[in-house]
C-alpha cells in the first residue's frame, strides 16, 4: 500500500532549498545606477580629474549657466541600511510563516523566497520615496526644481529589484 500522505522527502527538500538560498536586493542590472545607489547610500566627495574644476550646469532665472567647483560633497543617505533596520522583523516573520507552510507540505521554497523578495523591493522603494534628510544642496534643488534627496527622475527607485542566489559560505 502506498502512503499518499508521506511528503517528508518533499518537505525536507523544500526546507533545504529555502535554507540554502539568499535574497539580494538593490540595483542589480545597471552599473551606472549601482554607482548612483552606492554614492547616495555611502556619501562621497567628487573631485575634478585632469582639470582644475568640476563644471556644473544649473538653471538660474530660467537660463542655463555653469558654476565651477573643486569638489562636491554628497552626504550619506543610508536608505539601504534604513530599509533593513525598519523591515527585517517583518521579513523574519514572513519567513517563519512560509517555513511553517513548507513543513505542512504547502507551497515551495522558491515561492516563499520570491514573496520575501517582493516585500523587500517594495520596502526599499518606499524608503527611497520617504527619505528627506539630509536635504539636497541649493544647487541640486535649483537643477531639479525640488528637494527630494533620492528622487530625480525615479530611475534609481525603479531599478530596485531582487534575485535569489545560493548562499555563499
Give me the residues paired with residue 73 across strands: 45
d(CA 136, CA 15): 46
pLDDT of res. 2 = 53
pLDDT of res. 164 = 98
Match 525640488 to its residue by C-alpha cell. 146
pLDDT of res. 47 = 95
Give me the residues paired with residue 72 across strands: 46
Set of cell numbers at residue 139 = 544647487
Residues 6+ positions from 68 with CB-CB distance below 8 Å: 53, 54, 55, 56
d(CA 83, CA 126): 9
pTM: 0.88
pLDDT of res. 142 = 85
Set of cell numbers at residue 153 = 527622475
Domain boundary assignment for the chain? 8-42+76-166
pLDDT of res. 59 = 81
pLDDT of res. 82 = 97
d(CA 66, CA 60): 9
pLDDT in tens, the chain (169 residues): 455 567 789 899 999 999 999 999 999 999 999 999 999 999 999 999 999 999 999 888 888 899 999 999 999 999 999 999 999 999 999 999 999 999 988 999 999 999 999 999 999 999 999 999 999 998 898 888 899 999 999 999 999 999 999 998 7
Match 523591493 to its residue by C-alpha cell. 121
d(CA 118, CA 160): 10
Report the candidate in 6, 143, 4, 146 with the shortest Cα–Cα distance to residue 66.
Answer: 143
Amino acid at each position: 500500500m502506498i502512503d499518499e500522505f508521506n511528503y517528508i522527502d518533499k518537505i525536507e527538500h523544500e526546507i533545504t532549498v529555502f535554507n540554502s538560498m539568499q535574497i539580494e536586493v538593490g540595483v542589480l542590472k545597471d552599473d551606472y545606477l549601482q554607482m548612483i545607489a552606492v554614492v547616495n547610500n555611502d556619501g562621497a566627495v567628487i573631485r575634478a580629474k585632469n582639470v582644475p574644476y568640476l563644471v556644473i550646469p544649473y538653471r538660474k532665472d530660467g537660463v542655463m549657466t555653469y558654476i565651477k567647483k573643486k569638489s562636491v560633497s554628497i552626504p550619506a543617505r543610508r536608505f539601504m541600511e534604513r530599509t533593513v533596520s525598519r523591515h527585517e522583523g517583518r521579513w523574519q516573520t514572513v519567513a517563519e510563516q512560509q517555513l511553517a507552510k513548507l513543513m505542512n507540505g504547502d507551497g515551495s521554497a522558491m515561492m516563499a523566497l520570491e514573496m520575501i523578495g517582493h516585500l523587500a523591493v517594495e520596502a526599499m522603494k518606499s524608503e527611497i520615496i520617504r527619505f528627506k534628510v539630509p536635504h539636497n544642496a541649493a544647487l541640486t534643488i535649483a537643477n531639479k526644481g525640488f528637494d527630494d534627496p533620492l528622487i530625480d527622475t525615479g530611475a534609481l527607485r525603479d531599478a530596485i529589484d531582487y534575485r535569489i542566489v545560493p548562499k555563499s559560505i
